Structure 1
Amino acid sequence: MSGYLRTSLRVAGVAAAGAGVAYAGHHYLTTTSFFLTTAHAESLPSDSRAALKKMSWKGFTELKLQSTEQVNHNVKKLTFALPDDESVTGLAPITSLLTRHTPEGAWIPVFRPYTPVSENDAPGTVTFMVKKYPNGKGSGKMHSLKPGDSLLFKPLHEFDYKPNQYSAVTCIAGGSGITPIYQLTRAILNNPEDKTKIALVYANNSEEDILLKQEFDEFAQKYPDRFTRSYVVSTTTPQNEGEYVKGYVNKELLTKVMPHKLNERNVKVLVSGPPPMTASIAGAKGGFGWTQGSLGGVLGELGYTKEEVHKF
């Protein structure tokens, strides 16, 4: 999933025989010879679901598409069936599922990670929101699937989180980069033992592009002392003017919504957006997306340190 606000998550991969590989854009990953070590993805089902089976995820697993739903002009919700009705993904936040397919007429496989938006202990299915990109090999494949078609998946762990690890987390996302943020936000707020506060800043081109808005609005109503959100759009209409922050994510906005470091003992900032957005907010990633790079941008100006910021 995902041009200023098209989502881009860059993650380093490991290539067999030493071949280098990285992905950028909408969780982009392609290589001529590829091998991923087993990803850490742990999450125990709740007591009420003790009979459910956590998937072992040994290598790539074939899952069959169960249903599709058009969300907006370029985003689809795709639900895949797990091996049986008692199975759960058991993924830990933040973990995506890496897809693998070989386009017709090609010999080089295509790899793309997508973060599920379904709960990690939901039995029987796993659901994604996938934004289609022009000439996107991964998103194009996902959007072309029909119920009954199959695709290969494997967990790819992206960020370690432990309950109450931070007193406050600020999530800055653009476009479909919201999916890993949603996965973590839900895990934190649904855990009554986790007291972490969350501030979300979510930027898009227009109101129509805002994904999971209803879910985030419900979080804000249910957890007003722990969760706040600010929607930023490039363009507004006479009907929604005043409801959203118009423009771009900048220093002025972040100064208003982010927790003051002196008032919090331990903070973390997660940035999940396209390269230009990431660079302006936190400095560009290094090593062609393989490393976090140096901290810069608005967060650097606000006094945050490299250890306090994570760029996807």
Structure 2
Amino acid sequence: MSAIRPLRLAGVAAVGATTSYSASHYWNTRFFHFNTVHAEAPASLSVDPPSDARATLKKMTWKGFTELKLEKAEMVNHNVKKLTFALPDDQSISGLAPITSLLTRHTPEGAWIPVIRPYTPISANDQPGYITFMVKKYPNGKGSGKMHSMKPGDSLHFRQLHEFDYKPNEYSAMTFIAGGSGITPIYQLTRAILDNPEDKTKIALVYANNSEEDILLKSEFDTLAQKFPDRFNRTYIVSKTTPENEGAYQQGYVTKAILSQLMPHKLNERNVKVLVSGPPPMVEAVAGAKGGFGWTQGSLGGILGELGYVKDEVHKF
């Protein structure tokens, strides 16, 4: 990129309610080449159940595509739904390691090629009985359209896709830069880190959206910030705000100036990692475009490149 421009999220069409590293056709053409991943469960992402109840819990075995039935669907805002799917029984847990998404598969009526899309669960990996997603619907979105059309009792097939390896205390500090629905994998890892008493990693979250209404999981992040004030801080950026909320958020777009203020880790931490998750134009502006139709990391560029970060310090979703 010859010059870094402010990120205008209002003009960005994000991908799915999870990672945004691939074009729609990629999931269809690569469908038969995914290998099943058997990830180990991390430390508990929530308060441990009583020992007698815990003894009965069993981790799901994600072999190939697993059919799950929708239990509940709730509107979160004008274009986002929270979808809760039942696991095989009340003692089953997903057991997914961070960061792991689940690929959904369905074949639209009249089509012969299945639609494959990744979505990252927001429920804890040791939550018994169900798994929950937060899905934003996009115009002409085949995956999100399907998810939003589902009613309790409908079924969908899921297969796990491990996307980022994380080991507790591997980094002294991490910065998460997210836009729109790209927040879901970031939330999954944030919970895993902060709910592990042995993990001392510090986290800074920069989360950009068009408006206050678009800020997903805000109450959850606010609660974490209150519970872990020395380890977690968050900054919400909105491109437009209402008069009554003026001053409550960082107003504008993700720029070099803003990230320079919010990312001091490189100066005073021994090792750092930056995760960037959001619409492809955002990822490109912040860290350079991904390569290989979104399947490879590509070279580092954008704002982070100008700030002196190197490729090994950044991961793009």
TM-score, structure 2 normalization: 0.90
Partner in structure 2 of residue 172 of structure 1: 177
Could you say if the C-alpha distance between residues 269 and 33 of structure 1 is closer, same or farther in structure 2, counting changes exceeding 3 Å?
A: closer
Q: Distance in 1 between matches of 2:145 and 2:235?
A: 30
RMSD: 1.8
Partner in structure 1 of residue 141 of structure 2: 136
Q: Kindly indicate whether the alpha-carbon contact (under 8 Å) linking 2:68 and 2:87 is maintained by their aligned counterparts in 1.
A: yes
Q: 1:189 aligns with which of 190, 194, 208?
A: 194
Q: Distance in 1 between matches of 2:13 and 2:121?
A: 18
Q: Distance in 2 between matches of 1:6 and 1:40?
A: 32
Partner in structure 2 of residue 43 of structure 1: 41
Partner in structure 2 of residue 153 of structure 1: 158
Q: Kindly indicate whether the alpha-carbon contact (under 8 Å) linking 1:6 and 1:175 is maintained by their aligned counterparts in 2.
A: no
**1:77 has 2:92 as partner:** no
Q: Distance in 2 between matches of 1:222 and 1:229?
A: 13
Partner in structure 2 of residue 7 of structure 1: 14
Could you say if the C-alpha distance between residues 239 and 293 of structure 1 is closer, same or farther in structure 2, counting changes exceeding 3 Å?
A: same
**1:262 has 2:267 as partner:** yes
Q: 1:107 aligns with which of 105, 108, 112?
A: 112
Q: Kindly indicate whether the alpha-carbon contact (under 8 Å) linking 1:42 and 1:90 is maintained by their aligned counterparts in 2.
A: yes
Q: Distance in 2 between matches of 1:4 and 1:51?
A: 49
**How far apart are 1:32 and its partner, in Å?**
7.6
Q: Kindly indicate whether the alpha-carbon contact (under 8 Å) linking 1:42 and 1:91 is maintained by their aligned counterparts in 2.
A: yes
Aligned partner letter, 1:55: M
SS at 1:235 equivalent: coil
SS at 2:243 equivalent: coil
Partner in structure 2 of residue 65 of structure 1: 70
Could you say if the C-alpha distance between residues 91 and 112 of structure 1 is closer, same or farther in structure 2, counting changes exceeding 3 Å?
A: same
Partner in structure 2 of residue 17 of structure 1: none
Q: 2:95 aligns with which of 90, 106, 114?
A: 90
Q: Kindly indicate whether the alpha-carbon contact (under 8 Å) linking 1:116 and 1:183 is maintained by their aligned counterparts in 2.
A: yes
Aligned partner letter, 1:225: D
SS at 1:171 equivalent: strand
Partner in structure 2 of residue 53 of structure 1: 58
Q: Distance in 2 between matches of 1:264 and 1:291?
A: 27
- Spell out, residue by residue over 1:98-151, the C-alpha distance to the aligned partner (whole angstroms, 9 max, x if none): 100000000000001100000000000000000001111000000010000000
SS at 1:91 equivalent: coil
| Total equivalences in the alignment | 299
Partner in structure 2 of residue 241 of structure 1: 246
Partner in structure 2 of residue 24 of structure 1: 23
Q: Kindly indicate whether the alpha-carbon contact (under 8 Å) linking 1:4 and 1:274 is maintained by their aligned counterparts in 2.
A: no
Q: Distance in 2 between matches of 1:219 and 1:185?
A: 9
SS at 1:239 equivalent: helix
**How far apart are 1:42 and its partner, in Å?**
1.8
- Spell out, residue by residue over 1:178-214, the C-alpha distance to the aligned partner (whole angstroms, 9 max, x if none): 0000000000000000000000000001000000000
TM-score, structure 1 normalization: 0.92
Aligned partner letter, 1:7: A
Q: Distance in 2 between matches of 1:32 and 1:265?
A: 39
Q: Kindly indicate whether the alpha-carbon contact (under 8 Å) linking 1:5 and 1:174 is maintained by their aligned counterparts in 2.
A: no
Aligned partner letter, 1:34: F
Could you say if the C-alpha distance between residues 28 and 190 of structure 1 is closer, same or farther in structure 2, counting changes exceeding 3 Å?
A: farther
**1:250 has 2:255 as partner:** yes
**How far apart are 1:261 and its partner, in Å?**
1.5
Aligned partner letter, 2:23: A
Q: Distance in 2 between matches of 1:134 and 1:198?
A: 33
SS at 1:151 equivalent: strand
Aligned partner letter, 1:153: F
SS at 1:294 equivalent: coil
**How far apart are 1:164 and its partner, in Å?**
0.3
Q: Kindly indicate whether the alpha-carbon contact (under 8 Å) linking 1:31 and 1:109 is maintained by their aligned counterparts in 2.
A: no
Question: Is the deviation greater in 149-158 or in 31-40?
Answer: 31-40
SS at 2:32 equivalent: coil
Q: Distance in 1 between matches of 2:296 and 2:242?
A: 39
SS at 2:110 equivalent: coil
- Compare relative contact order (CA 8 Å, sep 6+) and give the higher one, 1 or 2: 2
Aligned partner letter, 1:31: T
